[in-house]
Amino acid sequence: MTLGLLYVPVAGALEWTTPLVLVGLASGAALVARSLLAPRGAVIPLRGLRRLAGEVDVVGSTLAVVALGSLVWAFAAADPATEIVAHGPLLLPVALAAAVAFVWHERRTEEPVLPLQALRPVGAWGRCWSTSWWVPPWSRRWSTSRSSRVPRRRRGTSSARRSCCSGC
């Protein structure tokens, strides 16, 4: 059995005619047909799609996906031996523009994807910050670094702070 034939186009120059792509397209068409013909157990609610789009912030969701997706793509596609960011001049400005547009849109919409007011209380930022610097108590026992000799109150892991951040 040769698995490489899954990637060989059936129709010569048309790259999208590989058996793998054709099976995916046929499966997608069958899924859409089944969702339209039997809406009760449908995986994709196509008949109620207009109502669903009215209830969900489609623009905010799209902007969040574009911002995060292009950021992840920029770092994941990079070759670590030669570059830090792949397609950086294209993807990073797209991610920045989508993030700015996301924040601008979320401030003005009635039902945002991410209610930005939830990030305003000091407790929200304090929990985010505390998870980035909090050192678990068990890591100090086996650590041989110089920081293990610093008194606990100087390392920022006093018992009061640990109990405050225990839910993080």
Predicted confidence pLDDT, tens digits, the chain (168 residues): 677 888 888 888 888 889 999 999 999 999 999 988 888 888 888 888 888 888 888 899 999 999 999 989 888 888 878 877 887 788 889 999 999 999 999 999 888 888 877 767 666 566 665 655 555 554 544 444 444 444 444 444 444 444 444 444
Residue 81 is encoded by which pair of tokens?
């031996």
Using CA atoms, how far residue 151 sits from 130, 144, 155, 165, in Å, is 19, 14, 7, 19
Residue with tokens 């574009």: 66
Q: What's the structural domain count of the chain? A: 2
Do residue 51 and residue 80 come from a single domain? no
Do residue 65 and residue 107 come from a single domain? yes
Flag whether 160 is in a domain: no
Taken as a whole, the chain contains a residue count of 168
Do residue 37 and residue 63 come from a single domain? no
Do residue 25 and residue 70 come from a single domain? no
Compute the mean pLDDT over every residue in the chain, rounded to the nearest whole number: 76
Q: Domain span at residue 67? A: 56-115
Closest C-alpha among 92, 116, 106 to residue 64 = 106
The residue type found at 116 is: L
Q: Are 49 and 59 in contact (CB under 8 A)?
A: no
Do residue 65 and residue 79 come from a single domain? yes
Do residue 21 and residue 65 come from a single domain? no
